[in-house]
Amino acid sequence: MAKKVVTMGELLLRLTTPGHSRFAQARSFDAIYGGAEANVAVFLANMGMDSYFLTRLPDNEIGDSAVNFIRNYGVKTDYILRGGDRVGIYFLEKGTSVRPSKVVYDRKNSSMCDIDVNDIDFETVFKDAEWFHLSGITPALGGKCILLVEKAVEYAKKKGVHISMDLNYRAKMWSYDKFESVVSKFIKDIDVCFGWLSSEEEGGTHKIADFAKQGIDLKKFENTFSNMQKRYRIKYMVTTLRENYSADNNALSALIYDGKELYQSNKYNFTIKDRVGTGDAFAAGLIYKLANGADFREALEFGVASGVFKHTIEGDFNICTEDEIMTLVNGNTSGSVQR
């Protein structure tokens, strides 16, 4: 019987210019629906888990289309609330070579921002659930979402559900101080934490960085993780390490810390079709393996391979099979046809 997992977050309409064309050239947009947490939900459904997504969408045709879009990939949409004004939007222009991708956000005042925590029947939501995943983007949506996150984590914890959170601090959405004060309230209930909370003074200066240029200081990472874990008693601290060579070519590896060992995964070099959702694919891969009892090192390797694989797929979702990810984990990255 498939294990139940719940993810919660916003589902956005992504409007991408065709190919690599610039915004000013576009006479159409490719339209998909996605978002950090939904991307995780889809991957887990692909892996055969009983994957539920919790969000709020307007009761109009755009909201309907968003529901259909993730249902297509096997996500259970029973817990989605309907109401409010709009689906949040982001416009994407995919870069290439020396030209970076560009994102224009138009996500304010979405239905999710206006969610009422009392409309959710957490009892049902977390019934028989094995895992709950959320991200730091949700509380950045405002007061109602902060309440939502607090309640959800509290309830999940009470029901004995494992909890993972991708901190995902977005400087454009709120201040670091606010972020920290909100997250620190419930972070002690998190089992797996992607990223870390820590001011520069404490030596936690590992912001999202380009490791292609500055190299990786494992000692510093161990220090940051260790401090944070001691403070918040998190089981696993995790992060990816990305090296940007161009908009088409990156390398990726990852770190996990369990309080004793800092384990670094294999590193992959690859070319890129679509970079969006690759961090989510990484998180989802790791969660999938941990939720199914794997060793944390094995889980990390599966996570990184999942993140790498996602770069080859258009859209937000890592549409694939467990076998395809395992091919990478097993060292075959030659991309040769199977006839």
Distance of closest approach, residue 136 Cβ to its own copies, in angstroms: 13
27 or 260, CB closer to its own copies?
27
171 or 295, CB closer to its own copies?
171
Write the binding mask 156 to 195 for its own copies: x where contact by CB under 8 A, - elsewhere.
--------------x-x-----------------------
Say whether residue 59 binds its own copies (CB under 8 A). Answer: no
Say whether residue 324 binds its own copies (CB under 8 A). Answer: yes
Q: Is 132 helix (H, G, I), strand (E, B) or coil?
A: strand
229 or 239, CB closer to its own copies?
239
- Is residue 287 within 8 Å of 192, Cβ to Cβ? yes
8 backbone dihedrals φ, ψ, rounded to 5°: -140, 135
Site for its own copies in 131-160 (CB under 8 A): none
Distance of closest approach, residue 95 Cβ to its own copies, in angstroms: 5
Distance of closest approach, residue 28 Cβ to its own copies, in angstroms: 5
Distance of closest approach, residue 193 Cβ to its own copies, in angstroms: 20
Q: DSSP string of 80-116?
A: -EE-SS---EEEEE--BTTBPPEEEEE-TT-TGGG--
Distance of closest approach, residue 33 Cβ to its own copies, in angstroms: 11
Rounded (10°) angle between helices 143-158 and 176-186: 20
Say whether residue 245 binds its own copies (CB under 8 A). Answer: yes
Among 175, 205, 271, 330, binds its own copies (CB under 8 A): 271
Strand partners of residue 50: 4
Which pairing describes strands 89-93 and 12-16: parallel, antiparallel, or unpaired? parallel
Among 115, 163, 165, 272, binds its own copies (CB under 8 A): 272
22 or 231, CB closer to its own copies?
22
Q: How many residues does the chain have?
A: 339
Site for its own copies in 89-128 (CB under 8 A): 89, 91, 93, 95-104, 106, 108-109
Among 6, 11, 15, 125, binds its own copies (CB under 8 A): 15
Say how many residues touch its own copies, by CB under 8 A.
Answer: 80
Among 200, 210, 217, 298, binds its own copies (CB under 8 A): 210
93 backbone dihedrals φ, ψ, rounded to 5°: -120, 120
CA gap 217, 280 in Å, rounded:
24
Q: CB-side exposure of 282: number of CA atoms within 13 Å?
A: 29
**80-105 in b/e burial notation, b at 16+ Cβ within 10 A?**
bbeebebbbbbbbbbbeeeeebeeee
Distance of closest approach, residue 262 Cβ to its own copies, in angstroms: 25
User: Would you state the torsion angle of the CA atoms of residues 66, 71, 74, 79, taken in this order, to the nearest 10 degrees?
Assistant: 90
Among 81, 117, 147, 212, binds its own copies (CB under 8 A): 212
Closest to 51 in 3D by CA, of 81, 32, 77: 77
Distance of closest approach, residue 268 Cβ to its own copies, in angstroms: 7
